[in-house]
Amino acid sequence: MSKQVQDAYVVAATRLPIGKSGRGYFKNTRPDEMLVKVMQAVLAQAPGLDPAAIEDAIVGCSFPEGEQGMNIARVASVLAGLGPTIGGVTINRYCASGITAVQMAADRIRVGEADVMFAGGVESMSMIPMGGNKPSLSPLIFERDENIGIAYGMGLTAEKVAAQWKISREAQDAFSVESHRRAVAAMQAGHFDAEMTPFDVVERTPNLTDGTVNVKTRTVKLDEGARPDTSLEGLAKLKPVFAAKGSVTAGNSSQTSDGSGGLLIVSEAALKRFNLTPLARFVSFAVRGVPPEIMGIGPIEAIPAALKAAGITAADLDWIELNEAFAAQSLAVLNDLDSKGIVLDRAKVNPNGGAIALGHPLGATGAIRAASVIHGLRRTGGKYGMVTMCVGAGQGAAGIFERL
């Protein structure tokens, strides 16, 4: 295990329901409002904690501009009532932004620099599109062939992974059907209740007859994307989206989404000072780079490194959140690791479904899935859980937690 001064403990972890971008729950909800709700919710889970004890709020966001710009971490911490003495920093590692925020917050504690930290993630793909409002690629990218993959759309990288690792269209669609099946079953069983914070969505509609505004509030409690009617027959009818003769479709890709999640992470001294109950211990983290044009296989490199740092094996993992950016890359990761003797039990990989069914709000996903792992382990009595994902421009990340 990596050297550290002290352990970092998670004492609160929650997330909002995930909404469909552009047409779903949060299409008109600002991302800072979502993040404020998450911050307030994690504080409510630690009633003995003095908010002023939080040193910093580290928040992941894939495209921190527009409505989620202006250092949304600091803005939200003030709006949430955490107090003016608390810092705030917004960080970006694309899809791994949220889990990187958790790692950075935990590391501040593990090296003895802080006692209480907030870590989270937020993303509104309704308000800030993939690539941001003004994508601008450096001309240097196109001067060397090995760098061109940086400019590829994520779907094209999935096509390249499918081709190189020989992942068939049928396998991708079957994986996607199972993601929806597990998600729907988990919802029906109430398995998301412990990790979820309901959100009151306010809808305002102008009345053109009398010039007033009609205000309607509804409470959302479940992720919006899971479809109980998903079938192999239905998915087989979808055309490829990213390559004319490809195999990656809207049905076997993650959904573009809006959402937010957050955790409170503390030292042992803070546990005693504020009489807090630890949910989990942050164990290890690893990030590795891979060729940008096959960015989806990033977890192949990050997972072994995170396991080694934790001093455990794949067989010790009781819950694995493998972000389903695409069915093709998820299957490629699982199959490749199998071939190397690092076998991830399929029953323990995304037991409540993954991003294909539940959605993928980019920079928020790592924090959201951290909450899923922690509460999933507590519900099932498992010991070790992992959050892992591929990252745009060619990276993989993995973080490991231990239930307490």
Q: Spot the catalytic one: 61, 180, 191, 360.
A: 360
Predicted confidence (pLDDT) per residue in 155-165, tens digit: 999 999 999 99
State the Cα angle at 277 between 272 and 279, rounded to 5°.
135
Q: Read off the pLDDT band of 2 (50, 70, 90).
A: low
Nearest to 280 by CA among 189, 356, 375: 375
Q: Spot the catalytic one: 61, 191, 375, 390.
A: 390
Average predicted confidence (pLDDT) for the chain = 96
Distance CA 15, CA 37 (A): 9
390 is catalytic: yes
Q: What percent of the chain has pLDDT over 70?
A: 99
Q: Read off the pLDDT band of 204 (50, 70, 90).
A: confident
How many CA within 13 A on the CB side of residue 118? 38
Contact call for residues 136 and 73 (beta carbons, < 8 A): no
Provide CB contacts within 8 A for 398, sequence distance 6+: 285, 286, 287, 299, 302, 303, 305, 306, 386, 387, 388, 389
Judged against a pLDDT cut of 60, whether residue 23 lies above it is answered with yes
Nearest to 19 by CA among 194, 204, 201, 175: 201
Residue 203 has a pLDDT of: 87
Mean pLDDT throughout 187-203?
Answer: 97
Mean pLDDT throughout 357-382?
Answer: 98
C-beta atoms surrounding 216 within 10 Å? 9
C-beta atoms surrounding 382 within 10 Å? 18
Q: Which two tokens stand for residue 9?
A: 């403990």
SS (H, E, C) the chain: CCCCCCCCEEEEEEECCCEECCCCCCCCCCHHHHHHHHHHHHHHCCCCCCHHHCCEEEEECCCCCHHHCCCHHHHHHHHCCCCCCCEEEEECECECHHHHHHHHHHHHHHCCCCCEEEEEEEEECCCCCCCCCCCCCCHHHHHCHHHHHHHCCHHHHHHHHHHHCCCCHHHHHHHHHHHHHHHHHHHHHCCCCCCECCEEEEEEEECCCCCCEEEEEEEECCCCCCCCCCCHHHHHCCCCCCCCCCCCCHHHECCEEEEEEEEEEECHHHHHHCCCCCCEEEEEEEEEECCHHHHHHHHHHHHHHHHHHHCCCHHHEEEEEECCCEHHHHHHHHHHHHHCCCCCCHHHECCCCCHHHHCECHHHHHHHHHHHHHHHHHHHCCCEEEEEEEECCCEEEEEEEEEC
State the Cα angle at 373 between 369 and 379, rounded to 5°.
135
Nearest to 88 by CA among 110, 115, 70: 70
Predicted confidence (pLDDT) per residue in 237-280, tens digit: 999 999 999 999 999 999 999 999 999 999 999 999 999 999 99
360 is catalytic: yes
Judged against a pLDDT cut of 60, whether residue 14 lies above it is answered with yes
Residue 211 has a pLDDT of: 86
Q: Spot the catalytic one: 95, 180, 191, 375.
A: 95
Predicted confidence (pLDDT) per residue in 284-296, tens digit: 999 999 999 999 9
Predicted confidence (pLDDT) per residue in 299-335, tens digit: 999 999 999 999 999 999 999 999 999 999 999 999 9
Q: Which two tokens stand for residue 10?
A: 């998670």
Q: Which two tokens stand for residue 371?
A: 């909450």
Predicted confidence (pLDDT) per residue in 109-145, tens digit: 999 999 999 999 999 999 999 999 999 999 999 999 9
End-to-end CA distance of the chain: 18
**243: burial class by Cβ within 10 Å (0-12, 13-18, 19+)?**
middle
Judged against a pLDDT cut of 70, whether residue 1 lies above it is answered with no
Q: Which two tokens stand for residue 121?
A: 């993630």
